[in-house]
Structure 1
Amino acid sequence: MNYEGRDPATGRALTVRVEDGRVAEVAPASGPVDGWLAPGLVDLQVNGFGGYDVNGPDVTAETVIELGRALAAVGTTTFVPTVITAAEDEIVASLRAVAAAREADRATRDAIPFVHVEGPHLSPEDGARGVHPLEELRPPSVDEFRRWQEACDGLVGLVTLSPHYAEAPAYIQALGRAGILVALGHTAASPEQITAAVDAGAVMSTHLGNGAAAVLPRHPNHLWTQLSDDRLSAGFIADGHHLPADALTAMVRAKGVERSFLVSDSVALAGSAPGDYETAVGGTVHLSADGRLSYAGTPYLAGAARSLADDVASAVALARVGLGDAVRMATAIPGRFAGGRGVLRPGTPADLVCFDWAPGDSALSVRTVVRGGQVVG
């Protein structure tokens, strides 16, 4: 089967030939083509989407399988389920559900390279903590991490923590020796604590610029330290609500495109119709037509509710980058942390998305999604 479209990086017309679920050839198209052609999107931070949530008491293997299908329909062919701060038994239940989903369904197994545990080793300070429950925050423990891995056959591949804990450097080193990625986030740590964590092996920043206090010292502070350390790559939520354009532009320029990647950080209400919803945490929330999810009657965000495809389009305007760079920040760059996904080369899995987009569009208009050589939807 052949798929055609323009390369977002160059504008050139391409044909991708797919055989047996893999890319067989990438070649110039023989004639004019419509739309754009890119690798399937890679999202390293997904809490939920389309009504499906990997957190909470009701998560099952079927929840995770349906979540993957919902994400694929909007262009995300690789995703990392993100389990947030909770009691250990609740974290373990979510991990077991993801492991069971991968065992039961090949498409889910192919779509999920590992699990991200965001917490519970985060800052207890208001602002930095975000919506993570204060009563469940605790210092990092290698013993607890091992119990997570035992519950899901070693599927945890990324952990986000705040490095202010005295145990953080040793914990980061232990995870690094096991091949686990460690990210810094939801923190009010000092610059010295940030640097010590990177020295110990931390490799990325989780949704940099968010999960931070509303007011920080002018300098020094933990944002400057993370932005200036080239050993850290940084994830950004480019939904137009979590970071204003000037901040996102400055941060991407500081890190450089090659060390910047986009995440949706989407919650279960992402992809839902605008309106008011009741949630287990926070009560009534309002989802606006432009994808802003906030606590009803307040200016405070209640999570992220746009797809990664939407964020790619937003990043063009907000971060002042070209479409090619915005696509790379949602494909090949995060794909480096997921086994080299997010590229179209002979021999790679046939994950791709065909879409329409023009300057000024607030979202990618997805035409066709192919996951593992199969058209989705």
Structure 2
Amino acid sequence: MGHAGSASLTIAAQHIFDGIDMRGPGSVRIAQGRIERISFGETAGASIRLPRDAILAPGFIDIQVNGGGGVLLNDQPTEAGVRGIVEAHRKAGTTGCLPTLISDRSEVIERLAVAAETCLEIPGVLGFHLEGPALNRSRKGIHPDAEIRVPDRRDLAAIKSFGDRGRSIVTLAPECVPASMIDELIAAGLRIAAGHSDATAAEIGQAVDRGVSGVTHLFNAMSQLNAREPGLVGAALGDDRLFAGIICDGIHVDPTGLRVAFRCKGRDRLMLVTDAMPLAGTNDRQFMLQGREITLHDGRLTGRDGTLAGAHLTMIEAVRNAVALIGISLVDALVMASRTPASFLGLGSELGRIAPGYRADLVAFNPDFEVVDTWMSGVGSMGEASKASERG
């Protein structure tokens, strides 16, 4: 894996997706972890030459990643745990992510809160995603019933501390918390996504008016679109203010649903996410999730009762699947994997494009959707360059 932190280097490629168009041949000059120059038709003097069929693109941004490389964040809410997740997903082209904590005890949220500041110095950590605990039990999915609750003052203090820990997200069911709590979390600097929710479309509209801006794993664990009650699905599809993550593995959402979502939301509001679990990046077939055995079979992660338990997916696979299952262009899929999540996180002037001044977070992959290499600028607190990853 390449590193772009303090070194100056020039990468030459026959095909460059700059975040807007597929272009090339050309070269990208990197200095001090930032893109200094992009030149087309000019590849002489490059320090790195990619294979002729490789595509150079902005690195993928995954806003929902529970685990990878054998690590589940809930079990290891520590710097070492986060580092393990980031390293596992970097091999699949993810150069920026939000390690995701699912509903758990107050002590676990607090442990991650204590580690969060140090974790932000790990290249690739853009913030955190707290999925729960304020969810609707009727749409809990694999979240443990015992840990679903309206946050008390202790929980709130820990959750709000993530407001200045990068660009962090809280997923909640808007109908299950006081409106004032949504205001309080947004005022603390958090982005709020609706998910694991049985809300009506009207309730979602009111939440969006208050500042809710995202939807977590569209179609899954939420009120569905019906003739006279559009639910969260209908509200998400119909409201251009909402960004929506979607799990593009062919299991969580039927391909027809994927196509409908893309037609309604488009590449600028629909984001590819993995919802990955610890088995991503390993050859293992089982893991324990809060005392329950989760098994991988035919690409599907389930508990003993058949409930889906996250996804066995990486971002490069999500990009490949989006092209194959939705029938969209590679350009559209790449936008959904980088520029759109960057925009959702308020990082659209830093990430998601290959342009002067942007962070040098890049991925190169071949036509078989195999990652050739990645480069990371090294990210400390927002916008600050720090030590780049070592070649891995």
Asked if 2 retains the 8 angstrom alpha-carbon contact of 1:48 and 1:270, the reply is: yes
**CA separation of 1:281 and 1:142: change in aligned 2, threshold 3 A:** closer
Q: Which residue pairs with 1:16 in the alignment?
A: 28
Q: Which residue pairs with 1:366 in the alignment?
A: 371
**CA separation of 1:154 and 1:16: change in aligned 2, threshold 3 A:** closer
CA–CA distance in structure 1, aligned partners of residues 287 and 154 of structure 2: 36
Q: Which residue pairs with 1:65 in the alignment?
A: 83
Q: Does 1:205 find its partner at 2:207?
A: no
TM-score (norm 2): 0.84
Q: Which residue pairs with 1:250 in the alignment?
A: 260
Q: Give, as a single letter, the amino acid of the residue that structure 2 aligns with 1:92.
A: E
Q: Give, as a single letter, the amino acid of the residue that structure 1 aligns with 2:188.
A: A
SS of the residue 2:249 aligns to: coil
For these two proteins, the number of residue pairs brought into alignment is 359
CA–CA distance in structure 2, aligned partners of residues 22 and 151 of structure 1: 26
CA–CA distance in structure 2, aligned partners of residues 150 and 30 of structure 1: 47
RMSD: 2.4
Q: Deviations over 1:175-208 (max 9, x none)?
A: 2233321110011112221111111110111111
CA–CA distance in structure 1, aligned partners of residues 154 and 270 of structure 2: 32
Q: Which residue pairs with 1:77 in the alignment?
A: 95
| Structure 1: gaps spanning 5 or more residues | none
Q: Which residue pairs with 1:37 in the alignment?
A: 56
Structural mapping, 1:173-322, within 5 Å: 173-212=183-222, 217-222=226-231, 223-273=233-283, 275=285, 277-281=286-290, 283-288=292-297, 291-295=299-303, 299-322=306-329
SS of the residue 2:84 aligns to: helix
SS of the residue 2:375 aligns to: strand
Q: Which residue pairs with 1:90 in the alignment?
A: 108
State the 1:13 CA deviation.
2.4
State the 1:120 CA deviation.
0.5
Q: Give, as a single letter, the amino acid of the residue that structure 2 aligns with 1:189.
A: A
CA–CA distance in structure 2, aligned partners of residues 151 and 23 of structure 1: 29
Q: Deviations over 1:88-107 (max 9, x none)?
A: 111111232333333xxx4x
Q: Deviations over 1:293-328 (max 9, x none)?
A: 2336x6542221111111011011222210001001
CA–CA distance in structure 1, aligned partners of residues 256 and 57 of structure 2: 27
By relative contact order (CA 8 Å, sep 6+), the higher-ranking structure is: 2
State the 1:342 CA deviation.
1.9
SS of the residue 1:271 aligns to: coil
Q: Does 1:328 find its partner at 2:335?
A: yes
CA–CA distance in structure 1, aligned partners of residues 163 and 79 of structure 2: 12
State the 1:355 CA deviation.
0.5
CA–CA distance in structure 2, aligned partners of residues 26 and 151 of structure 1: 35
Q: Which residue pairs with 2:47 in the alignment?
A: none
Asked if 2 retains the 8 angstrom alpha-carbon contact of 1:64 and 1:98, the reply is: no
Asked if 2 retains the 8 angstrom alpha-carbon contact of 1:96 and 1:151, the reply is: no
The percentage of counterpart residues that share the same residue type is 33
Q: Give, as a single letter, the amino acid of the residue that structure 2 aligns with 1:249.
A: R
State the 1:220 CA deviation.
1.3
Range moving further from structure 2, 141-150 or 258-267: 141-150
CA–CA distance in structure 1, aligned partners of residues 177 and 309 of structure 2: 30
SS of the residue 1:318 aligns to: helix
Q: Give, as a single letter, the amino acid of the residue that structure 2 aligns with 1:71.
A: H
